[in-house]
Amino acid sequence: MNSNTQRIVITAVLTALLIAVGPLAVNIGPIPMTLQTLIIALVASVSSTRVSLTAIGLYLLLGAFGLPVFAGFKGGFVLLAGPTAGYLWSFLLFAPIIGLSFKRWANVWG
């Protein structure tokens, strides 16, 4: 397999992982608790920054188009502009921070 094929496959698998875990939520208040943050950290730590941003961007794009991939099996562009929008958009900032941190401090103490 060449580099581009590997990158596409890894991106698809990581996006599928986000889609599988994202809708599972415990509703406590206006913002539901999910495992999305853990999965975002996992995605950023096992892949390159480019792949993780592509996987997260694809996840947000699928949710914006209306697929029920967000917490509580919801979807639609309105969720990317509502009260939980900052949480969802922050995934795009969180992934590079985690990914670069893993690259810089690759040992246990880091």
The CA-based dihedral angle spanning residues 17, 19, 20, 21, taken in that order and rounded to the nearest 10 degrees = 90
pTM: 0.86
How many Å apart are CA 73 and CA 64, to the nearest integer?
13
The pLDDT, as a whole number, for residue 1 is: 54
Mean model confidence pLDDT for the chain: 86
Mind listing the pLDDT tens digit for each residue in 57-110? Answer: 999 999 999 999 988 888 999 988 988 788 889 999 998 888 888 777 766 565
Which secondary structure element, helix H or strand E, spans residue 38, and what is its range?
helix 36-46
**What percent of the chain is predicted at pLDDT more than 70?**
94
Mind listing the pLDDT tens digit for each residue in 46-58? Answer: 888 899 999 999 9
The pLDDT, as a whole number, for residue 108 is: 58
The 10 Å Cβ neighbour count of residue 101 is 14
Report the length, in residues, of the chain: 110
In 3D, which of 62, 24, 58, 56 has the Cα closest to residue 41? 56
